[in-house]
A and B are shown apart, each in its own frame.
Chain A
């Protein structure tokens, strides 16, 4: 009993690193331009399908496809920003939500149209095998995915603190007027943040496809899941995101093994509501 529980917790914690990566993209978008993107989870779903498509068509492994899908999703992000989001910046937040909910429906319907409703998975992955630690088995694909996620999160945090563009994003997030006075072009910065935030879902999508299947409705789960991670972490703390991701992943796994496999989303949503009620600024947030 405890063995399976620990086993599940390990798996959940590793998946949680990918959740943190997805939430990092959302945090870039929400933290910088205060745009509520309901379609973020569906971008993960689209990334997973693109990975599936590329894997099926060319045989490129899911672990490597992010090299192709990352720029693709970046472009999609830019397109979405300039075509839709940019026009709603001066509108009330409900209009923004209406637009991104429209986008969410659009992406889901498109996925259903192209790939039909049944779940799809890739037959194999480059990363094979598993590692034994005592009596616990860890799938190599999960371990590598978690490691890559942590590395990418670390890389993004370096990008945000060391490069001019990254600093512009942080500056715009802290104080847009002051940033503008220092020569930050806010539209370019917003577009960059939106593109980058969307592109991160490409990496997450590729990693998820190494051990998971995809179906058109899973965007909702990833969407609310990443909002849950973000709510728990609060804005502006990258280590906080990682810790929250791991907590959410572990809680999900625990709910599944202790309660009911169908309860996985229930646990996440209850956690989300509790965090909102008790710690509206998140556990690690600074604003």
Chain B
């Protein structure tokens, strides 16, 4: 399940070129651009999740917490002190890391695992949401709008979604590279070992606590920076960015994509998020939230009948194709 995990380089480059050309198809169709960028955003989040969830086997449900922290850092710095989101993104990522370590240290120190880890991380999102709702100086119940600019690279504000697509694509590539590098490093092997069996890994001399904290920090940084871009793309910040449904959805994408498989979560994001948006666009008009009914049934079916993840489908097909080509 977690082995043999490399697509040929030529295929990767072809996919990247295809992704880079995609906005040219959409041209000025802003809806399509938002859709593509959203898919990429979920791809980034789920790929980052794959480090803590897929490799280390910790079911983290706090993606919304780090996304919100990143978004609020970028938003607050830009609105109050006119500090560029480029710097804000890095700071937001670091704040997310700081927060993750602050929370992660006691969690791992007291040996909180499995379902209790999942639940306490999901509680965290709600705690932050309410805290920012009450904290009127930074959050509060009203949206805070980022300054409007027709085209400003310094403010990371554009009248079109096109630049955000490319920024998000860049972040996805970064997340995938980090994921790939971690997976084939000492840390990655430790993480996979403790993901399979934590006690056994510890007995073999893996410092599980430190490994998990490192994985958590990488994940929080990627999600935090993505949160910064998210804020600039939508042009406002609101405590609802600390979203429980988003957090669980990120984890679900990671799980149904194929835990620990580098490109699995991206594949799940492309397939499922676009399915969801397609359903929303086509069914949402007549029947509000009917798309979610269909979507959740699809999720349940995939989780039931393809528990190793949809990435294994593709690999199976790819292997068959390869062996057929070899035979001929």
Which residues of chain A from 111 to 162 have any CB-CB distance to chain B below 8 Å in the complex?
Answer: 112-113, 116-117
A94 and B292 in contact (CB under 8 A), knowing A276-B112, A280-B111? no
Q: How far is the CA of A276 from the CA of B120 in the complex (A)?
A: 8
Q: How far is the CA of A124 from the CA of B9 in the complex (A)?
A: 68
Partner of A98, one of B107, B255, B289, B292: B255
Q: How far is the CA of A102 from the CA of B122 in the complex (A)?
A: 16
A113 and B288 in contact (CB under 8 A), knowing A231-B116, A269-B127, A273-B123? yes
B303 within 8 A of A: yes
A64 within 8 A of B: no
Interface residues on B, range: 35 or more
Chain A residues whose C-beta falls within 8 Å of the C-beta of B120 in the assembled complex = 272-273, 276
A93 and B307 in contact (CB under 8 A), knowing A265-B126, A269-B126? no
Chain B residue nearest to A38 in the complex (CB): B248
Query: B237-261, CB under 8 A of A: which get 1 and which 0?
Result: 0000000110010011001100100
Q: How many residues of A contact B (CB 8 A)?
A: 43
The interface-forming segment of B13-21, B159-167, B294-302, B312-320 is B294-302
Chain B residues whose C-beta falls within 8 Å of the C-beta of A91 in the assembled complex = 307
B contact patch SS: helix
The interface-forming segment of B130-138, B145-153, B175-183 is B130-138
A10 within 8 A of B: no
* Interface contact B299-A112, CB-CB below 8 Å: no
Q: What's the least CB distance linking A108 to chain B, in Å?
A: 8
B281 within 8 A of A: no
Q: What's the least CB distance linking A280 to chain B, in Å?
A: 6
* Interface contact B130-A266, CB-CB below 8 Å: yes
B114 within 8 A of A: yes
* Interface contact B110-A94, CB-CB below 8 Å: no
Q: Which residues of A contact B (CB under 8 A)?
A: 30, 36, 38, 84, 87-88, 91-95, 97-99, 101-103, 105-106, 108-110, 112-113, 116-117, 220, 224, 227, 231, 260, 262-263, 265-266, 269-270, 272-273, 276-278, 280
Taking A93-B115, A95-B303, A276-B119 as given, write out 7 further A-B residue pairs in contact, using a Cβ cutoff of 8 Å, ordered by the A residue number.
A93-B114, A102-B299, A103-B300, A110-B293, A112-B288, A277-B106, A280-B110
Q: Which residues of B contact A (CB under 8 A)?
A: 53, 57, 59, 106-107, 110-112, 114-116, 118-120, 122-124, 126-127, 130-131, 133-134, 244-245, 248, 251-252, 255-256, 259, 287-290, 292-293, 295-297, 299-300, 303-304, 307
